[in-house]
Structure 1
Amino acid sequence: MLTGSLAGAAPGSVAARAMDDSDRRHAASALEASPDGQASAWRNRETGDSFVFTPTRSFDQRGARCRDFRLEVTVGERPDSIGGSACRQADGAWRISG
Structure 2
Amino acid sequence: MPIRDRALSHAAIRTIAAAALVAVSATASSANLGFLNNTPITYMKQRDLQALNNAAQIALNTKKDGESLEWDNKGTGNTVPINGTVTPQETFESDGLKCRKVTLVAIAKGQTQTWMPTACKQSDGKWKLKKQ
Question: Normalised by the shorter chain, which TM-score bucket?
Answer: 0.7 to 0.9
| Cα RMSD (Å) | 2.0
**Which residue of 61, 69, 72 corresponds with 1:40?**
69
**Which residue of 55, 64, 75 corresponds with 2:88?**
55
Please identify which structure carries the higher helix content.
2
* Residue 92, structure 1, aligned to residue 121, structure 2: no
Equivalenced residue count is 88
- Give TM-score scaled by structure 2 length: 0.59
Cα separation, 2, equivalents of 1:62 and 1:53:
24
- Which stretches in structure 1 are left out of the alignment for 5+ residues? 1-10
Cα separation, 2, equivalents of 1:16 and 1:33:
25
- Which stretches in structure 2 are left out of the alignment for 5+ residues? 1-32
Larger Rg: 2
- Give TM-score scaled by structure 1 length: 0.78
What's the CA shift for 1:22?
2.2
Please identify which structure carries the higher strand content.
1
Cα separation, 2, equivalents of 1:79 and 1:22:
17
The structure, 1 or 2, with the larger RCO (C-alpha pairs under 8 Å, 6+ apart) is 1
Contact 2:91 2:98 in 1 (8 A): yes
